[in-house]
Chain A
Amino acid sequence: MITVLAMTFVAATVAPLIFRKLGRNAFFVLAAVPAAAFVWLLLQHEAIYSNGGMHAVTETLPWIPDLKLEFAFRMDALAWVMSLLILGVGSLVLVYCARYFKNKDPDLGGFGAQLLAFAGTMFGLVAADDLLMMFIFWELTTVLSYLLIGYARTRLSARRSALQALMVTTAGGLAMLVGLVILGQAAGTYRISAILEQAGGQAGLLTTGPAQGAVAAAVVLILVGAVTKSALVPFHFWLPGAMAAPTPVSAYLHAAAMVKAGIYIVARLAPGFSTSEFWLPLVLGLGLATMLVGGYRALRQTDIKLILAYGTVSQLGFLTMVVGLGRPDAALAGLALLLAHGLFKAALFLVVGIIDHQSGTRDIRKLSGVYRSSRALGIVAGIAAASMAGLPPLAGFVAKESVFTAFVEFGTGEDAHPWGPAVLVGLVLGSILTFAYSARFMWGAFASKAGVERTPFKAIKPAFLAAPAVLSVLTIVYGLWPAPVDGWIQPYAALFTPDAGASDAGAGHLALWHGFTPALGLTAIVLAAGAAMFYGRNVVSRAQSLVPDWVDADRAYQRTVGALDDIAVWVTGRTQRGSLYFYLTVILTVAFAVPLTALIVAKKPLPGGLYFIDPNSPLQLIAAVGIVVGALAAVRANKRFLAVLMVSVTGYGISLMFALQGAPDLALTQMLVETIVLVAFVLAMRSLPAELRDRTGGRLRVVRVMIGAAFGITMIFVAIYAMGARVATPVSLDFPKLAYEGGGGLNVVNVTLVDIRAWDTFGEISVLAVAATGVASLIFVRGRGDRLRPAATVPAGSVGRRTGVERDSRDGAALALAKKFADVGRDAWLLGGRTLAPERRSIIFEVVTRLIFHSMIIFSVYLLLAGHNLPGGGFAGGLTAGLALTIRYLAGGRFELSEAATVSAGTLLGTGLATAAASGFVPLLLGGQVFQSAIIEVWLPVFGDIKFVTSTIFDIGVYIVVVGLALDVLRSLGAEIDEHFEEKAIPAGEAVHAEPVPAGNIAAPGRGTP
């Protein structure tokens, strides 16, 4: 079985290639696959039926042993009969497709693959012996049927019907999954055969144990899945909708395969669970309702395909009742009917496809004289329709006879069920309707109608007619010689324990002639009444048109989906307001209200150990006052840079606080960061207006104040209680010793960063690299920006010229003076200083920069290397180097920066990360742990004893990343924004600037700068 499945799916996978080669004839190749499987199936007959049919062929292959999930397959009589239908009809439908489609139809390869895969999936579904395995196939059929129904992607009706079918069957599938899981858990196994053995009887799942109720619920849920799949009331509407599919798909999915999956589930579970509490009411109630509704509506259709569709709905209700009855005779009749239905319904759909294909319509008001055009087609269809109506000597008659026999027994026998008579009457009514719509179908499709022009009809190729003809021949053979079918089904019927005291303990047999039985009488009634209904069809349809549509399930579905849409829009509109203020207000209110409520409800006393002034560091109070003042001023400030400055005040204040608390590393880092951030702010916000207006005023402002204050107070109390609740000794008490002995460093914080908690730091520098790249991409938009050309090629005084200065104004005079000094021939202090416009230059700044830059770089390296034992480390060192670059940029402009940092920021970030990563995995290569450090002590001449800890390499990586980040910030927020400015200023500058700067000492001819 696994081989068959694998073969089918492999063939489906390569199908598109075959189609590319062979066009529509590839369908013949595909048809060979289920045909081969069909032959294999026939060969299995011996193995399954040899031992009185109680034997089963099983195959298992472990899949996920931990979840006890395995490819478990089991071929017993039920699966075998179902497979016959699935593979046989599947093969015939594929053959039919080869003439139904045209070579130029779009996406035939995909379609063929899906149809073949569908056949394989259905086979897997009936052969699976594991609940979850079965469910997987079940859902696969849903997905494939969605694709197949929606084959005509450009048609709205196809798309919508496909979606509707998907939603209905998936909803049922979800219910079923829940049911399957409950059942599997209650039984302790997901093996279907094992579960069925446990079910029923005195000690069965249904009658004993706490799981009794759960199992009953599970059965109901599984039946919901079956009901949606088999299109029973109230979910029957998707099946007529699915007629938007190409007709071969309708023939296969809606006659032989997919809708039979629900029937299969019912048949599979019936031997164990038909005595479950809700089983019979559901199966008989919904089945009967569906049979009547489907038959009634079939009589109202004018599209022959829809007549068949509603007929299928009706028949599915019929099948569900029979198969689900849970008695041996009904089981026999049910499977017999299932086979008969598969044969005639597939044939009829294929005939409809031929009529549509040859004449271009399926409307019975337009079709006329088709029988005269093609007698062969009419005969094939007539046989199938007669079988559907239950005429002897055809398969439908044989099956229906046994059905009637079973239900006569059910309704009037010695052990008759209370509902038996009512069900029997309903069944007869349904059968009358079936006869009537069968006749209507034949009349509508083939008759020559008065007043309707004869429909043009192209001749049918034999290959096209072959598939329905084969099916109709089988219908006759089955009818005349039902013994083999009887033999196939008997082992399944024997699974049902006959009711005690039943007059006829066995299942009976299928036969064309049983003698004059009540069933034969019922058939006679059906035929007579049905024929009467057909002849009085005008009366019937007039009567039908007087009856209003009671409930249109399709419209109910539309309304339900529409209501869901409305709710979705409403909820989205209420929650997704598009206002950040709204979101934050909600989030922050929850953030303080919940902990505050918890604190108030808990009513715990304040913990001890509270103090205002730290005895070790009373000066903290001064820093505290500074921070508070800075924060409040930042809130009040209405000038942009003032606000920024005030936030910096709090930052520097916190730096002081760190120092006073005993954290020199933090103080140092915070100080450096605060400085660079201040520069970055100024650079980025140059072009923004100086005013910083507070736009949210009035009541909103009161709300903001309240949320802010409440949040702050809540945090204070949360912190107090959280810290007061602490009882354990801090883990960090071990850190100093750990740092010295394990990490080989005296600076505990630094060793923590680069060794004890190196993973954290590695994550952090990754974030830095990402953020730096983000900054660069926000400013440069494309790429990271090319390296600037060397300062030597840039004309002197060309960068950052002021424009619009009147020459005879005071500024103009100052400008003229500055220019005089700007262009002197001696060595410059800075390489790029010359490029700046004279009015931008500050000689003092340039001199100072020249003096301190190298010292700062040396100092940064010192901080990096000394950081293991003294304050410093990669972060502080990198920031110092970044600050040095900042000074170069501020003093000499962007070309100076480019001269100072000859390596691009991206390279630095990458190198830094690579270095840090290498320090992580190299120890791994040497047989140690990730980020394990080693202490290497060597003696070098001059230096003496040197103690080198390998985690320093990690710190070097950190250093490089931080330098890269700083450089990216300067390149983006500084240099690139400079260029933006100048690009904008050029047109105006050319017009107004009266006196060009002498381009005296250009070393190489650069691009002409205006």
Chain B
Amino acid sequence: MSVNLTLLIVMGVLYACGIYLILERSLTRVLLGLMLLANATNLLILSTGGYAGLAPFFNKDTDPGAYNDPLPQALILTSIVISFAVTAFMLGIIYRTWVLARQDEIQDDMEDRRVAKTPSFDAEDDAVVPLETSEFALTPAGPEATTDSPATDPTERGTA
């Protein structure tokens, strides 16, 4: 099997640059990084086709091995167009971020930070519940609620 080192080294450089860019805060650079990664991946797929060959247009006199492998080409063609769609989508996101927040930077998620600092106390789970000794005395609308019923806890609401 033949391995084209030139293609692979170019691919490696594109991957390295793409990774460097997506580790950046600027959304624009992240998008550019993604595009470089897509290009790198296309080169990776291309290199699986082996030596450069004839363009794959059928000629019954040509040996199938003489063409450049058409299967990776079909895959790359798909990839190119999808990358276009993704890039356009990301551009939409960048523009909207800019319109809404006037910035082109990926912010840390403050909600996540807040969650990390939250104490685990939860009123629903951990608050002290007053002891109840009747289902009826605390129901304000209930006719059974007698005047000398136990002291009603003001925080407690009735079933009604």
Is A643 within 8 A of B110, CB to CB?
no
- Kindly identify which residue among B24, B57, B110, B145 contacts A870, using a CB–CB cutoff of 8 Å: B57
User: Within the assembled complex, what's the spacing in Å between the Cα atoms of A612 and B108?
Assistant: 44
- A561 CB, min distance to chain B CBs, angstroms: 7
- A280 CB, min distance to chain B CBs, angstroms: 38
Residues of B within 8 A of A664 (CB): 55
- Kindly identify which residue among B67, B68, B126, B135 contacts A152, using a CB–CB cutoff of 8 Å: B135
User: Within the assembled complex, what's the spacing in Å between the Cα atoms of A340 and B89?
Assistant: 72
Is B19 within 8 A of A719, CB to CB?
no
Question: 20 A-B contacts, Cβ less than 8 Å apart?
Answer: A104-B160, A156-B129, A362-B134, A657-B7, A673-B83, A685-B94, A687-B98, A688-B104, A696-B23, A704-B24, A705-B20, A711-B16, A712-B12, A713-B16, A724-B3, A732-B69, A736-B56, A737-B64, A778-B96, A969-B88
- Kindly identify which residue among A658, A737, A753 contacts B74, using a CB–CB cutoff of 8 Å: A753
User: Within the assembled complex, what's the spacing in Å between the Cα atoms of A199 and B86?
Assistant: 63
The answer to the question of A489 belonging to the interface, with a C-beta cut-off of 8 Å to chain B, is no
Q: Knowing that A366-B150, A695-B105, A731-B71 are A-B contacts, what are 20 other residue pairs whose CB atoms are under 8 Å apart, sorted by A's residue number? A: A155-B156, A160-B125, A576-B115, A577-B112, A578-B111, A580-B106, A614-B51, A620-B4, A620-B52, A631-B14, A631-B17, A634-B17, A635-B17, A663-B56, A666-B73, A685-B94, A715-B15, A739-B58, A752-B73, A764-B81
- Kindly identify which residue among A572, A580, A588 contacts B116, using a CB–CB cutoff of 8 Å: A572
Residues of A within 8 A of B42 (CB): 654
Residues of B within 8 A of A470 (CB): none
User: Within the assembled complex, what's the spacing in Å between the Cα atoms of A779 and B97?
Assistant: 10
Residues of B within 8 A of A632 (CB): 13, 17
Is A573 within 8 A of B117, CB to CB?
yes
The 4 closest A-B pairs by CB, nearest first: A573-B116, A578-B112, A712-B16, A662-B68
- B94 CB, min distance to chain A CBs, angstroms: 6
User: Within the assembled complex, what's the spacing in Å between the Cα atoms of A709 and B137?
Assistant: 73
The answer to the question of A661 belonging to the interface, with a C-beta cut-off of 8 Å to chain B, is yes
Is A720 within 8 A of B3, CB to CB?
yes
The answer to the question of B92 belonging to the interface, with a C-beta cut-off of 8 Å to chain A, is yes
- A926 CB, min distance to chain B CBs, angstroms: 26
Residues of A within 8 A of B51 (CB): 614-616
Is A719 within 8 A of B11, CB to CB?
yes
Is B104 within 8 A of A734, CB to CB?
no
The answer to the question of A71 belonging to the interface, with a C-beta cut-off of 8 Å to chain B, is no
Query: Which residues of B, 128-160, contact A by the 8 Å Cβ criterion?
Result: 129-137, 141-142, 144-146, 148-150, 156-160
Residues of B within 8 A of A940 (CB): none
Name which residue of chain B comes closest to A157, CB basis.
B129
- A574 CB, min distance to chain B CBs, angstroms: 8
Residues of A within 8 A of B49 (CB): 661
User: Within the assembled complex, what's the spacing in Å between the Cα atoms of A965 and B73?
Assistant: 22
Residues of A within 8 A of B56 (CB): 662-663, 735-736, 747-749
Is B25 within 8 A of A360, CB to CB?
no
Residues of B within 8 A of A973 (CB): 88, 91-92, 95
Residues of B within 8 A of A361 (CB): 133-134, 137, 149-150
Is A614 within 8 A of B9, CB to CB?
no
User: Within the assembled complex, what's the spacing in Å between the Cα atoms of A865 and B19?
Assistant: 40
Is B144 within 8 A of A358, CB to CB?
yes
Residues of B within 8 A of A663 (CB): 46, 55-56, 68, 73, 76
The answer to the question of A357 belonging to the interface, with a C-beta cut-off of 8 Å to chain B, is yes
The answer to the question of A624 belonging to the interface, with a C-beta cut-off of 8 Å to chain B, is yes
Residues of B within 8 A of A764 (CB): 78, 81-82
Residues of A within 8 A of B48 (CB): 723
User: Within the assembled complex, what's the spacing in Å between the Cα atoms of A302 and B43?
Assistant: 80
Residues of A within 8 A of B124 (CB): 156, 159-160
Residues of B within 8 A of A968 (CB): 88
Residues of A within 8 A of B117 (CB): 573
User: Within the assembled complex, what's the spacing in Å between the Cα atoms of A613 and B4?
Assistant: 7
Residues of A within 8 A of B135 (CB): 152, 246-247, 356-357
Is B55 within 8 A of A662, CB to CB?
yes
Is A611 within 8 A of B2, CB to CB?
yes
The answer to the question of A681 belonging to the interface, with a C-beta cut-off of 8 Å to chain B, is yes
Is B132 within 8 A of A157, CB to CB?
yes
Task: Given A647-B36, A775-B91, verify A612-B129 contact (CB < 8 Å).
Answer: no
Name which residue of chain A comes closest to B106, CB basis.
A580
Is B92 within 8 A of A704, CB to CB?
no
Is A723 within 8 A of B86, CB to CB?
no
Is B32 within 8 A of A356, CB to CB?
no
Is B17 within 8 A of A736, CB to CB?
no
User: Within the assembled complex, what's the spacing in Å between the Cα atoms of A768 and B85?
Assistant: 6
Is B19 within 8 A of A712, CB to CB?
yes
Mark interface residues in A641-681 (1 if CB within 8 Å of B CB, else 0): 00110010011001001101111111001100100110011
- Kindly identify which residue among A362, A621, A676, A688 contacts B98, using a CB–CB cutoff of 8 Å: A688
User: Within the assembled complex, what's the spacing in Å between the Cα atoms of A997 and B13?
Assistant: 54
Is A692 within 8 A of B28, CB to CB?
yes
- A314 CB, min distance to chain B CBs, angstroms: 21
- B118 CB, min distance to chain A CBs, angstroms: 6
The answer to the question of A911 belonging to the interface, with a C-beta cut-off of 8 Å to chain B, is no
User: Within the assembled complex, what's the spacing in Å between the Cα atoms of A175 and B87?
Assistant: 50
Residues of A within 8 A of B159 (CB): 105-106, 151-152, 154-155
The answer to the question of A277 belonging to the interface, with a C-beta cut-off of 8 Å to chain B, is no
User: Within the assembled complex, what's the spacing in Å between the Cα atoms of A569 and B125?
Assistant: 15
Is A749 within 8 A of B108, CB to CB?
no
Residues of B within 8 A of A635 (CB): 17, 20-21
Is A303 within 8 A of B43, CB to CB?
no
User: Within the assembled complex, what's the spacing in Å between the Cα atoms of A643 and B93?
Assistant: 18
The answer to the question of A640 belonging to the interface, with a C-beta cut-off of 8 Å to chain B, is yes
- Kindly identify which residue among B76, B118, B149 contacts A666, using a CB–CB cutoff of 8 Å: B76
Is B73 within 8 A of A569, CB to CB?
no
User: Within the assembled complex, what's the spacing in Å between the Cα atoms of A192 and B89?
Assistant: 59
Is B8 within 8 A of A720, CB to CB?
yes
Is B10 within 8 A of A627, CB to CB?
yes
Task: Given A456-B148, A654-B43, A753-B77, verify A579-B108 contact (CB < 8 Å).
Answer: yes
Name which residue of chain B comes closest to A613, CB basis.
B6
Is A775 within 8 A of B89, CB to CB?
yes
Residues of B within 8 A of A643 (CB): 28-29, 32
The answer to the question of A544 belonging to the interface, with a C-beta cut-off of 8 Å to chain B, is no
Task: Given A620-B52, A680-B87, verify A628-B77 contact (CB < 8 Å).
Answer: no
Residues of B within 8 A of A778 (CB): 89, 92-93, 95-96
Name which residue of chain B comes closest to A705, CB basis.
B20
Is A694 within 8 A of B36, CB to CB?
no
The answer to the question of A869 belonging to the interface, with a C-beta cut-off of 8 Å to chain B, is yes
Is B1 within 8 A of A607, CB to CB?
yes
The answer to the question of A422 belonging to the interface, with a C-beta cut-off of 8 Å to chain B, is no
